Structure 1
Amino acid sequence: MNFDLTPELLDLQQRTRDFIARDVIPFERDPRCTPHGPTEDLRAELIARAKAAGLLSSHMPLELGGLGLNHRAKAIVFEESGYSPLGPVAMNIAAPDEGNMHLMEVVATPEHKARWLVPLAAGKIRSCFCMTEPDPGAGSDPNMLMTTATRDGDSYLINGRKWFTTGAEGAAFAIIMARHEGGELDGQATMFLADMNQPGVTLERTMDALDTCFPGGHGVVRFDNLRVPATDVLGEPGQGFRYAQVRLSPARLTHCMRWLGEARRAHDVATAYAAKRKAFGKTLGEHEGVGFMLADNEMDLHVTRLAIWHCAWTLDQDKLGRHASSVAKVISSEACWRVVDRSVQILGGQGVTNDTVVARIFADMRAFRIYDGPSEVHRWSIANNILRRAKPAH
């Protein structure tokens, strides 16, 4: 790997950094930031600013209004976007829309792209991804999928219940994972595209969660005989789990990129405080206990960035990157959490109030060790991969 950034990428990094500082951070105390994420009105205002700055949906190809970034370039831009909890929303690269856009770019038909992907990439609508289910349905184990799809003439009838559906409230459409019931595809999983504002779709409630950075929060959604035309199957029937891997490795990594930016922001706030706040005759940073925490933060940020860049490089080689993304996810989520936790400690009382953005980042960051697979599931996957590669002892 070459760790040098091209002049073009350095310029894009600085443009993104300037945009976040100038156009996004001033909105962090806006009353339209709610416990369930920024309102649609605030999102639209931020989207307009990103579009004017030429930074909207940067991961999308040029024909869809993006910058056509590869994964390595995304690592640079997405980290800068994450420097504010509102940055990914403003640039239209927040979950779940960013991952849904990537999946649809690869799998969707031209008709699906025109109907859903084009307005999604333009920031005119939002989407959601309906996968996780209440017990005894699918969670960390996707094979426990309970939502069913039954063929009925030229359509499918979808029945089931999903929760932790990020962005469900206000989403224009959903990608729904369901298993076939009956027929030659019985038991196999398929992805379906469906508008959210139609009979058969019920948003039961929006869950109260620690994080507040996702527009629409996290919803509980019920499907009661939702009729989906067979023409609105996303990709091929029975290939849902394969397509989930197309989506999950890159989307898992972009989570890491964005949250690295948030961790860096917390570290910067804590560093500035430690450099000026005095106690016992010198600044906090001059006390070894605090100085060591700053040093540990620096090392955790560095290792996280290297893991992200390596996985991005792997994906840019047209590899699926399942192992590399699991490694990056565990390293990133746990290291970034340590960084933010130390930053709160350094800030003391300031760290547990809304006087700085760090308390908000702290609440958002804790969920990162669970979203897109808990650390324990990724460690199990990594261990299985290690054992598959193991050679017999001699």
Structure 2
Amino acid sequence: MFNVDKIRKDFPILKRNVHGKSLVYFDNAATSQTPQVVIDAIVDYYTNYNANIHRGVHTLSQEATDKYEEARIKIQQHFNAKEAYEIIFTSGTTHSINMVASGFASLLQEGDEIIVSALEHHSNIVPWQMLCEKTNAVLKVIPMQLDGTLDMDTYHQLLNENTKLVFCNHVSNALGTINPIEEIIDAAHKVNAAVLIDGAQATPHIKPDVQALNVDFYVASAHKLCGPTGQGMLYGKQEWLEKLPPYQGGGEMIATVSFEKTTYAGLPHKFEAGTPNICGGIAFGAAIDYMNSIGFDTIADYENELLEYGTQELLKIEDLKIFGTSKDKTAVISFNVGNIHPYDIGAILDKLGVAVRTGHHCAQPIMDFYQIPGTIRASFSFYNTKEEIDVLVKGVKRAQMMLS
């Protein structure tokens, strides 16, 4: 049985006060909180076996290597990658996307087309713009609709024999919309285009199966999944990872080096130059274990309850408008109240101990579409409660009264 009170005890930070009020943390789409078991994994690494990996013959190095590679296998199994070496450790989603974009710079040519969606985070827009500048490829955009969903009819019209790459987030960070990635992937493959899915916002709520999706690349960040910051992963099909050139040169990613010629190591080391975030990789594995111990179906069911309750209660507030009303969405409510600037409401909520995100959420094209400066975003996790949502609602009402 799901027991939120028991789960909350796993997160030390939830016990703290902010401005004399009990913390209500509704900024989970920016970063999730960290359970004690993950904190313990970090402390254990630095306390007991801190050493560089892969090349050492001494005991600490071998122990660190084993733990690091065990974490890779945990992530492989979680995402159902065919091989462990198809999981590349990175510093996060942005690093993963840039790695792929850099690799395709040698594969694209003038006249090739790439497609992104209008719902993207800046980290899944800017690297492709930079790629187009380098290669003279053409960037095309899947438009969005008023409810925060993609115009899939236009997407199908955009696809053609010149389409080489398609990029889309699994879930919109600004609106919570769950995109139809199965349809996006299948349609792209019919014109022989590769697909990268940004899973940063999906993976805290959904357990993707990369083989079932038949996706070419899937990227995610540990800190959205109760893990540490500065750690992420790139899944890539073996055949694509072998086509792409290395992203960085240095130690670990080589097979042989001479002043005449260097040969590169096989996967995954080809893309993992230098000393990695060893502790981060191990802690990422611990976070995956923790979330799987709760169960992603259980997490999704509970968070949907929070989403329904939060939507219902917030809509009782006069002049409150929610942006992103797709039937398929994760536990994110992005809203404004009348003409009050979202920053002002967010600042008052902070004084009441409520942490929300305000602004354009690194998704400025979405805000331009709605012709607004930004939104207040309340994003829920499985350790939040309906009582906390009541605190949010009272805080929004108070802010409205003060600012109107």
TM-score, normalised relative to structure 2:
0.26
Which protein has greater RCO, CA pairs closer than 8 Å, 6+ apart?
2
- If each structure's helix is expressed as a fraction of its own residues, which one has the higher value? 1
